[in-house]
A and B are shown apart, each in its own frame.
Chain A
Amino acid sequence: MNKVLMFNYHKCVGCKNCEMICSLVHEGICSPALSRIRVAKDERAGWNVPISCAMCEKPACVTVCPVGACFRNRDTDLVTIDEQKCIGCRQCVQACPFSHVNFNPVKKVAFKCDQCGGEPQCAKYCWTGAITYQPLEEVLNYRRQETAEKIASEY
């Protein structure tokens, strides 16, 4: 996993374009309920946070899956759900701390972000620049800088 999805919640305006494009490329329809990525928002407080798969090091969804349908793909290093193997028990849906894994009520299987096979469409169509697909090192640099600035501003 050389590149990761980065979410900059300072830039997100909550337009939910990403949800539309995600469900469109994966399921063929624009339906936020079938989108992998979701935007959490609090309109009164005025903030928007896109949430997608964190590709955890110790993924809860993989641990709980009773049929081995949810696994870490050794080639791509991504946490993946095999739709053919999934029996729709919803264990992973409940176990994910980010509520990222969702359930398709028509197909009766769980689904999650697959980073569109290396070209995430949410990042491509995000017009605010809140979602970017970047090398891991760049993301870490950004986060490091952000934390450092925060600490510095407190003095």
Chain B
Amino acid sequence: MKNIIIIGNGAAGNSAAETIRRQNMDVPIVMIAREELPIYSACALPDCLSGWVNRNQLFIKQMQDYKRIGIITKFGYEISHIDIKQRLILIDKETVAFDRLILATGSRAIIPPVPGSNMAGNFVVKTISDIDQIMAYKPHQVLVVGSGNIGVEVAEALHMRGCHVTMVEVMDHILPRIFDKEPARRLSQMLLDHGITVLTREKVIGVSGGGRVEGATTDQRAINCDTIIWAAGVRQNVEIAQTAGVRIGKLGGIQVDSHMQTNLEGIYACGDCIESIDMLTGKPTLSLLWPNAKRQGEVAALNCLGQEVDYEGAVSMVVEDICGITAVSIGMTSAALDPQNTTILEGQTPNEYWRVLVQDDLIMGMQTIGITSGLGAVMTLMKKRTTLREFKQTVIDNNLIRKTAWYLPARRFLEV
């Protein structure tokens, strides 16, 4: 093999590069990326905004770490064209030849085309430079649009910085993709008690101000603010790949097979930019989570080297710290499941709340508030597709349970 080019310097790209190096010390690896920075943790950006983590702590590698494992870095470059036939990549008038290509181009935060959303004071939280810009802007009254993980984390972070924060969500409840209505109601109550205004079923339709943001209008009211953070979702960076002839799926991500190969021979894709298969349902999904990106990078790298490894599918686990309380969501939500066949095992104590979603005797998802341990066992049972019947049989058998003592923390959630 001549050389491997990786486009992207995020979780997936770096995991791919490290995996290749672990298997093969000699093959040249070239990494091309837009940002002139070593890899940093995008998940921890809101924590940096709140001041909990300092900026240096975000960086996972230093520039010399790439050199140490023999990765040629071309950071700060835009790719203008990929020539599939000639196997060349054109970057700023320079061409680089490749043998195998790994696309890990990631995603970008979108700002909906609302009038006034191009004014100063509109931000997204996706890269480290976004954080720097927000800090330099010194926000006081903030409107956060969207209440996904990033929306909630940023709202809380800016609240901790002393800002007055309002959060707007267009759907029925906050965190719509990872929590059901009841746990979401409890979480939004926690945010309200904390001093963050939460407005659901409202859509921002305009931004007002003369050059700088001075306010926003929703379909129900006008809100005073000097800063707007758009956390309304992301779009996959697939344009370069698409022009090169890589097939794009229905959800907007690059289509890959279980080997993470695209429709073109020798061209692999992993991370946020792809459409992967959900481990539980087997349906295409956009996973957009750090651990999934890392695993996809590994699979792409191994297949790229000729080892046939199948991707087991994406599974989501989101751990949020909301007002000092841990909230966790694993797997699917009820909205994503067929409500007729889904049983909900719910429970609570004064400080805890949990619900487990069960379909055909299999665990399909779990959402908890205030529970700090024991969920790893439930997650593993879910991934192993252990039926509840099997679980109960093991737990009541004194001999079996001693051998699988790790089942124990899951017991109180799964017994009814």
Query: A: which residues have CB within 8 A of B?
Result: 9, 40, 42, 45, 47, 49, 51, 60, 63-64, 66-68, 85, 87, 89-91, 93-99, 102-103
Contacts and interface: CB of A to CB of B under 8 A. Distances in A.
Contact of B47 (A47, A87, A99): A87
Contacts of A95: 291, 317, 376, 379
B290 A66 contact: yes
A98 B380 CA distance: 9
Contacts, number: 87
B319 A67 contact: no
Interface string B374-395: 1111011000000000000000
B405 A9 contact: yes
A89 B47 contact: yes
B409 A99 contact: yes
Contacts of A68: 41, 60-61
Size class of the B contact interface (CB-based, 8 Å) = 35 or more
A98 B319 contact: no
B373 A94 contact: yes
14 contacts: A45-B401, A60-B380, A63-B291, A66-B43, A67-B41, A67-B60, A87-B47, A87-B57, A89-B43, A89-B47, A94-B319, A95-B291, A95-B317, A99-B377
A124 B44 CA distance: 39
Contacts of B52: 87
B398 A47 contact: yes
Nearest to B404: A49
Interface string B258-293: 000000000000000000000000000000001100
Nearest to A87: B53
Given A66-B41, A90-B326, A97 B376 contact: yes
Contacts of A103: 372
B321 A66 contact: no
B238 interface: no
Given A51-B405, A97-B379, A99-B377, A64 B328 contact: no
Q: Give the 8 A-B CB pairs with smallest separation, nearest first.
A: A66-B43, A97-B380, A49-B405, A68-B60, A96-B376, A67-B41, A98-B406, A64-B291
Contacts of A60: 376, 379-380
